Structure 1
Amino acid sequence: MSLAPFVNKRPWLKNMLMPVANWYANAAGYRQLGLRYDDLYEEEREAVQIALKRLSAKEAYERVYRIRRAAQCSYQHKLLPKNEWTTNETDVRYLSPIIRQVEAELAEKDALDAATVIPKAH
């Protein structure tokens, strides 16, 4: 269960927690490598694999580029120059909405597959 809907409904609480959330995102280190939050999803999950196939060609290319550039930085034990870091404004969720949609579709499919047909008695 997520607290996000609770926090988002209360602007005063959201304003209070945003500095902490931004600090945490910057401390995580992925932004210094040029990655976005959605680049960190495990690709082994079925829903993520399906969602990745639904990305536009441009977004898929940019994602692969960011991941390869981050891997290269990691191999070299270096960070990107500060002007190339991901910012709060550019760290937008591009894959999360698609994953949620795919998970809902998979849950619906599982529910339909598990449905039983009861014959009508005459």
Structure 2
Amino acid sequence: MYKSLKPLANAYAHITGYRQHGLRYDDLIIEEREDVQKALTRLPQRESYDRVFRMKQAFQQSVLHRELPKDQWLKPEDDTRYLAPIIEQVAKEDSERAEWDSLVVEKKK
């Protein structure tokens, strides 16, 4: 199943054009969610800097209505998920915290 869907996924990623602007898939995640904001604070300093650089570069290319030169496009093997695992960890921690906060203590008789 993976082998049959992978070419379709790569074609879709190419059509969306975010790699032509130098962005990674996780750069497209909406930042207004609380769990994403927490995850962004947990990014290593270098990864956070690289994210901001990619966003500024993509914004500049968008304003100029151009793509990056073809040699600067993001390659599919470099398009790794760097933020999603942290978001999942934050969501897991939040759900665990909610479970502990809603715990009802009953007194033994």
Instruction: Work out the CA distance in 1 between the residues paired with 2:30 and 2:37.
Output: 9
Distance in 1, Cα, partners of 2:108 & 2:71:
68
Aligned equivalents of 1:45, 1:71: Cα separation in 2: 21
Aligned residues: 109
Match of 2:26 in 1: 38
Q: Which of 81, 85, 90 is the matching residue for 1:93?
A: 81
Gaps of 5+ in 2: none
Offset of 1:38 from its aligned partner? Answer: 0.4
User: Which residue number in structure 1 is paired with residue 69 of structure 2?
Assistant: 81
Match of 1:24 in 2: 12
Identify unmatched segments of 5+ residues in structure 1: 1-12
Paired residues for 1:1-122 under 5 Å: 13-121=1-109
1:37-82 deviations in Å (ceiling 9; x for gaps): 0001111111111111111110000000000000111111111111
The superposition leaves residues 91-118 of structure 1 with CA deviations (integer Å, 9 ceiling, x where unpaired) of 0000111110010000111111111111
Q: d(CA) in 1 for partners of 2:33 and 2:55?
A: 18
